[in-house]
Amino acid sequence: MDKREIMGIIEAVLFAAGDPVGIKDLCGIMGMDQKDVLPIIKELKDWYNYERRGFQLIEAEGYFQFSTRPEYYEYIQKLHSPQRKQGLSQAALETLAIIAYKQPITRAEVDSIRGVQSDTAISTLIEKRLIHEVDRLDTIGRPILYGTTVDFLKYFGLSTVDELPEILEKQITYLDENTR
């Protein structure tokens, strides 16, 4: 192995591990001696420092790990700060209600009930982890069946979908008559 490949292996192992990796483990993975690996780690560490990369290679008692640079803390903090929660659009709320009460249900069935396409609303609900793919119909095209998630239950304070408020029969009839 050439030095560039060894550097790549070290980076890949440290990145994938997440936690500190001991020099003995690194050497064992590569089948190399410490005397050959340590100078390459030092060179890699110096390169990250010289180039002012977003992360650094740190060492503590023979263990190595990638860490973000302290000077970038404020930017990382913005990533993890609570974001302003955006509500759901009317279309997304309608779609969510239909899926919650009729699950498992296909997109085409949702579209039929709503009378318009629901692609965007379904994408939004998936992104917000309120619905997910639960199965596929065993018909031509194998359409996706959607259902609600555990996050949906948590968000609405439910233990199961059986706790959803009942829809009155006349409301169902009204929906059926006015959405076709």
- The pLDDT tens digits along the chain (180 residues) read 899 999 999 999 999 988 889 999 999 999 999 999 999 999 999 998 888 888 889 888 788 998 888 888 888 887 765 555 567 889 999 999 999 999 999 999 999 999 999 999 999 999 999 999 999 999 999 999 999 998 888 887 778 888 888 875 555 555 556 554
Question: Where is 127: in which H helix or E strand?
Answer: helix 119-127
70 and 95 within one domain: no
Model pLDDT, residue 167? 74
- At which of 78, 102, 137 does a domain end? 78
Exposed/middle/buried for residue 57 (C-beta within 10 Å: 0-12, 13-18, 19+):
buried
Q: Output the pLDDT for position 76.
A: 83
* pLDDT of the residue at 32: 95
- Claim to verify: residue 112 and residue 62 sit in the same structural domain: no
Q: Which of 44, 78, 112 is the last residue of a domain?
A: 78
Same domain, 38 and 12: yes
Domain boundary among 78, 107, 132: 78
**The pLDDT value given to residue 1:** 85
Long-range contacts of 161-169 (CB under 8 A, 24+ apart): 161/100, 161/103, 164/100, 164/101, 167/101
Q: What was the pLDDT predicted at 46?
A: 92
User: How much is the pLDDT for 130?
Assistant: 95
Phi, psi dihedral angles at 122 (to 5 degrees): -65, -40
Q: Which of 17, 108, 20 is nearest to 62 (CA)?
A: 20
Residue 99 lies in a domain: yes
**Does a structural domain hold residue 124?**
yes
Look at residue 175 in the predicted model and tell me its pLDDT.
Answer: 57
Domain encompassing residue 13: 3-78
**pTM across the whole model:** 0.50
Do 61 and 35 lie in a common domain?
A: yes
Q: Are residues 17 and 74 in the same domain?
A: yes
The CATH number covering residue 117 comes to: 1.10.10.10
- Verify that 94 and 170 share a domain, yes or no: yes
Length reported for the chain: 180
* Number of domains, the chain: 2
71 in a domain, yes or no? Answer: yes
pLDDT of residue 178: 58
What pLDDT is stored for residue 70 in this prediction? 84
